[in-house]
Amino acid sequence: QSALTQPASVSGSPGQSITISCTGTSSDVGSYNLVSWYQQHPGKAPKLMIYEGSKRPSGVSNRFSGSKSGNTASLTISGLQAEDEADYYCCSYAGGSTWVFGGGTKLTVL
Protein backbone atom coordinates (compact mmCIF):
# COMPACT_ATOMS: atom_id res chain seq x y z
CA GLN A 1 0.00 0.00 0.00
CA SER A 2 2.34 2.77 -1.15
CA ALA A 3 0.81 6.23 -1.22
CA LEU A 4 -0.41 7.52 -4.55
CA THR A 5 1.79 10.21 -6.10
CA GLN A 6 0.49 13.76 -6.38
CA PRO A 7 2.35 17.00 -7.11
CA ALA A 8 3.10 18.82 -3.87
CA SER A 9 1.66 22.06 -5.15
CA VAL A 10 -0.14 23.65 -8.09
CA SER A 11 -1.24 27.20 -8.65
CA GLY A 12 -3.44 29.20 -10.95
CA SER A 13 -5.06 32.58 -11.35
CA PRO A 14 -8.76 33.21 -10.85
CA GLY A 15 -10.73 32.05 -13.87
CA GLN A 16 -8.03 29.67 -15.08
CA SER A 17 -8.14 25.88 -15.08
CA ILE A 18 -5.76 23.58 -13.27
CA THR A 19 -5.27 19.83 -13.22
CA ILE A 20 -3.96 17.72 -10.37
CA SER A 21 -2.59 14.30 -11.21
CA CYS A 22 -2.66 11.20 -9.04
CA THR A 23 -0.42 8.36 -10.11
CA GLY A 24 -0.78 4.88 -8.75
CA THR A 25 -0.11 1.40 -10.05
CA SER A 26 -1.86 -1.42 -11.85
CA SER A 27 -2.79 -2.72 -8.38
CA ASP A 28 -4.87 0.29 -7.42
CA VAL A 29 -5.74 3.20 -9.75
CA GLY A 30 -5.18 1.13 -12.86
CA SER A 31 -7.34 -1.79 -11.79
CA TYR A 32 -10.43 -0.18 -10.30
CA ASN A 33 -12.79 2.62 -11.15
CA LEU A 34 -12.90 3.66 -7.51
CA VAL A 35 -10.84 6.84 -7.36
CA SER A 36 -12.19 9.64 -5.22
CA TRP A 37 -11.00 13.18 -4.60
CA TYR A 38 -11.24 15.26 -1.42
CA GLN A 39 -10.90 18.96 -0.71
CA GLN A 40 -9.54 19.99 2.68
CA HIS A 41 -9.40 23.54 3.95
CA PRO A 42 -7.04 24.31 6.87
CA GLY A 43 -8.31 22.91 10.14
CA LYS A 44 -11.30 21.26 8.49
CA ALA A 45 -12.29 17.72 7.67
CA PRO A 46 -11.92 16.54 4.07
CA LYS A 47 -14.91 16.94 1.75
CA LEU A 48 -15.80 14.51 -1.03
CA MET A 49 -15.57 16.20 -4.44
CA ILE A 50 -15.40 13.32 -6.95
CA TYR A 51 -16.16 9.61 -6.66
CA GLU A 52 -15.90 6.65 -9.01
CA GLY A 53 -13.31 8.61 -10.92
CA SER A 54 -15.58 11.18 -12.52
CA LYS A 55 -18.88 11.48 -10.66
CA ARG A 56 -19.79 14.56 -8.66
CA PRO A 57 -21.76 14.35 -5.42
CA SER A 58 -24.86 16.45 -5.12
CA GLY A 59 -23.93 20.02 -4.26
CA VAL A 60 -20.42 19.97 -5.70
CA SER A 61 -19.81 22.58 -8.38
CA ASN A 62 -19.59 21.37 -11.97
CA ARG A 63 -16.30 23.26 -12.16
CA PHE A 64 -14.81 20.13 -10.63
CA SER A 65 -14.28 17.14 -12.91
CA GLY A 66 -12.36 13.88 -12.74
CA SER A 67 -10.87 11.46 -15.23
CA LYS A 68 -8.53 8.51 -15.44
CA SER A 69 -6.06 7.13 -17.93
CA GLY A 70 -4.17 3.98 -17.13
CA ASN A 71 -2.61 4.26 -13.70
CA THR A 72 -3.15 8.02 -13.42
CA ALA A 73 -6.26 9.83 -12.28
CA SER A 74 -6.76 13.56 -12.62
CA LEU A 75 -8.83 16.27 -11.02
CA THR A 76 -9.53 19.38 -13.08
CA ILE A 77 -10.88 22.59 -11.61
CA SER A 78 -12.09 25.12 -14.13
CA GLY A 79 -12.88 28.77 -13.55
CA LEU A 80 -10.67 28.90 -10.46
CA GLN A 81 -12.07 30.83 -7.53
CA ALA A 82 -10.40 32.03 -4.36
CA GLU A 83 -12.46 29.57 -2.32
CA ASP A 84 -10.88 26.66 -4.22
CA GLU A 85 -7.59 27.30 -2.45
CA ALA A 86 -7.13 24.19 -0.31
CA ASP A 87 -5.37 20.85 -0.12
CA TYR A 88 -6.62 18.11 -2.44
CA TYR A 89 -6.23 14.38 -1.90
CA CYS A 90 -6.92 11.48 -4.20
CA CYS A 91 -7.83 8.04 -2.89
CA SER A 92 -8.09 4.68 -4.61
CA TYR A 93 -9.30 1.22 -3.78
CA ALA A 94 -6.21 -0.97 -3.55
CA GLY A 95 -7.75 -4.43 -3.44
CA GLY A 96 -8.47 -6.64 -0.48
CA SER A 97 -10.88 -4.02 0.89
CA THR A 98 -8.03 -1.62 1.56
CA TRP A 99 -7.66 1.99 0.47
CA VAL A 100 -4.72 4.23 -0.31
CA PHE A 101 -4.51 8.02 -0.33
CA GLY A 102 -2.26 10.32 -2.27
CA GLY A 103 0.30 12.57 -0.65
CA GLY A 104 -1.87 15.64 -1.17
CA THR A 105 -1.58 18.73 -3.37
CA LYS A 106 -1.71 22.29 -2.12
CA LEU A 107 -3.64 24.50 -4.54
CA THR A 108 -2.81 28.18 -4.45
CA VAL A 109 -5.07 30.67 -6.21
CA LEU A 110 -2.81 33.56 -7.17
Q: Which of 15, 70, 79, 103 binds another protein (CB under 8 A)?
A: 103
Q: Return the closest-CA partner of residue 22 out of 34, 40, 2, 6.
A: 6
Calculate Rg over the CA atoms of the chain: 13
Within 7-110, residue ranges assigned H as helices are none
* CA atoms of 23 and 83, how far apart (whole Å): 26
To another protein, the closest distance from the beta carbon of 14 in angstroms equals 27
Q: Based on the shown chain and the rule CB under 8 A, indicate whether residue 36 belongs to the binding site for another protein.
A: yes
CA 34 to chain CA centroid, Å, is: 12
# residues contacting another protein (CB under 8 A): 25
Residues between 58 and 87 with contacts to another protein, criterion CB under 8 A: none
Considering only 13-21, 29-37, 60-68, 75-83, which stretch makes contact with another protein by CB under 8 A?
29-37
Q: Which of 39, 102, 107, 109 binds another protein (CB under 8 A)?
A: 102
Interacting residues of 83 by C-beta distance below 8 A, sequence separation 6+: none
| Interacting residue ranges for another protein, rule: CB under 8 A | 1, 3, 32, 34, 36, 38, 45-48, 51-52, 57, 89, 91, 93, 96-104
